[in-house]
Structure 1
Amino acid sequence: MADESDPLNRVDEGDSDIRTGLDRAIAGSSKMFAWAIFVAFGITVLEVVARYVFDSPTFWAHETTTFLIAAIFLIGGPVALARDKHIRVRMFYDAAGPRRRRTLDIVNSIIALVFFAGLAYAGWVMVGKSWFTPTGALHLEGTGTSWNPPTPALLKLLVLICVVTMFVQTVFHLIEAIRRDPAGGGE
């Protein structure tokens, strides 16, 4: 038996909640995205050194780090869903038997699908407005600063991608819950 006090074993045990191949791919890619935090940290250190040592602040560091951290935050949604670590009222779920848990999983998935469909529609509208002018010409929305990177348009696209990903994940989770043995043998 693995030593439960070892953090590496706890991480591996956390991956046992992964239910589908898509979930596995998302959870695996999250480790790559986690490196963006170190990139943001490096940019912040560079900015501090440039500003206070060389008296030459950058004009791009703050917007870049904000973009990276916002992107990581958005990717956290599909990762939490993939690892089955989303918010749940554990008090009721843990007290339920296998049949009731299956029912709760099905109802939760249906509600989540409606929610994600609404978010996807709103995301589609946001992307359209941030990527195209009213005449239909491609023009990415910028921040409005002197650097004016297209990070708002890119983040809105990432919102849409993450929401659609969570919709697909939830479809797979719903199928898995429906197929699960109601007596609890399939868990």
Structure 2
Amino acid sequence: MTEDPELVARADEADAGIRTGLDRVVAGSSRIFSWAIFAAFAIAVIEIFARYVFNKPTFWAHETTTFLIAAIFLVGGPIALARDRHIRVRVIYDAVSPQRRRWLDILNSSIALVFFAGLAYAGWIMSSKAVFTPTGEIRLEGTGTAWNPPTPALLKMLVLFCVALMFVQTLLHLINAIRRKVPDTDGER
């Protein structure tokens, strides 16, 4: 079986921003998570047929698809960071020398670390309230519906995991930016 050269070129281009081994693992996981989109679509189609063709609506389809799409959205943050595809204003970045870009990377990573640390703290509080009762028992927060799955607790724990992962990714990016050797250019000190 031969590979399509255009698809290989697109995959190589998508992975061009990968800077660390952790980024490689996170970016590689996107293929697995992309199947969750297909699962959400399949569940929605099943629900449509059950409701409108057989007049037997499900009680689980809406909550399941909402959970899957929310989880995919959350995991998108670490994946975008791993591939260096996050939103960035490039006007200044592209106009400066490689040495100044290195300093901008260091500044950006330092600010992002503070931001992710604050989000991780908030995520810890939010997820611990969703997992533990005031007496310390483990009881996952449910949706409060007839089915009552623990998806709110799972999503809050996923928020904490994704933010902690982005903190570690950013820390590794900061270390790489500090270690990066950039040749001196004339006129810049």
Shorter-chain TM-score bucket reads: over 0.9
CA distance in 1, matches of 2:122, 2:161: 12
Count matched residues. 181
Task: Give how far 1:28 is off.
Answer: 0.4
CA distance in 1, matches of 2:70, 2:96: 36
Task: Give how far 1:184 is off.
Answer: 7.1
Partner of 1:83: 83
Task: Give how far 1:10 is off.
Answer: 2.1
CA distance in 1, matches of 2:46, 2:14: 35
Note if 1:111 corresponds to 2:118.
no
Partner of 2:180: 180
CA distance in 1, matches of 2:177, 2:183: 12
Partner of 2:43: 43
CA distance in 1, matches of 2:57, 2:143: 19
Aligned AA for 1:47? E
TM-score by length of 1: 0.93
Note if 1:158 corresponds to 2:158.
yes
Aligned AA for 2:58? T
Partner of 1:170: 170
Show structure 2 runs of 5+ residues with no match: none
Show structure 1 runs of 5+ residues with no match: none
Task: Give how far 1:6 is off.
Answer: 3.0
SS of equivalent to 1:17: coil
Partner of 2:139: 139
CA distance in 2, matches of 1:44, 1:8: 32
Deviation larger for 99-108 or 6-15: 6-15
CA distance in 1, matches of 2:10, 2:170: 25
Partner of 1:127: 127
Identical-residue share of aligned pairs (%): 70
TM-score by length of 2: 0.93
Partner of 2:32: 32
CA distance in 2, matches of 1:10, 1:161: 29
CA distance in 1, matches of 2:88, 2:74: 19
CA distance in 2, matches of 1:184, 1:126: 47
CA distance in 1, matches of 2:169, 2:184: 22
RMSD: 1.4
